[in-house]
């Protein structure tokens, strides 16, 4: 397991001009740092590879470039092309 850093140490490694400690604590409380910092006594500890998550962005995960369709086609294709009801799962 990696050594946990406090918020100021993490900010110094992550940013060229780190935010203030009060801003970092607010980000931790609001869940803007992923993975979430852990509160150890009065101090937040965070993993070194943690990142800031922008809350205004709804979809945080990258989308796959190519989406694989089911081998039998989509439901709409099966209904449109008249697949028999007996071959469908119940």
Q: Is the pLDDT of residue 16 over 90?
A: yes
Q: 36-86 pLDDT, tens per residue?
A: 999 999 999 999 999 998 877 766 566 666 666 556 666 777 777 765 544
Between the alpha carbon of residue 13 and those of residues 28, 29, 31, 51, 54, the distances in Å are 17, 20, 20, 11, 19
Q: Is the pTM of this model over 0.75?
A: no
Which has the closest alpha carbon to 48: 20, 74, 11, 84? 11
Residues with Cβ within 8 Å of residue 27, at least 6 apart in sequence:
19, 33, 52
- Delineate the domains of the chain, giving CATH numbers in brackets: 1-56 (1.10.1660.20)
């Amino acid at each position: 397991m990696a050594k946990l850093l406090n918020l100021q140490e993490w900010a110094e490694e992550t940013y060229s001009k780190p935010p203030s400690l009060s801003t970092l604590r607010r980000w931790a409380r609001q869940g803007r740092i992923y993975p979430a910092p852990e509160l150890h006594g009065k101090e937040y500890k965070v993993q070194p590879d943690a990142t800031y998550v922008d809350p205004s962005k709804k979809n945080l995960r990258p989308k796959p470039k190519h989406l694989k369709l089911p081998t039998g086609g989509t439901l709409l294709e099966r209904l449109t092309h008249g697949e028999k009801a007996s071959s469908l799962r119940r």
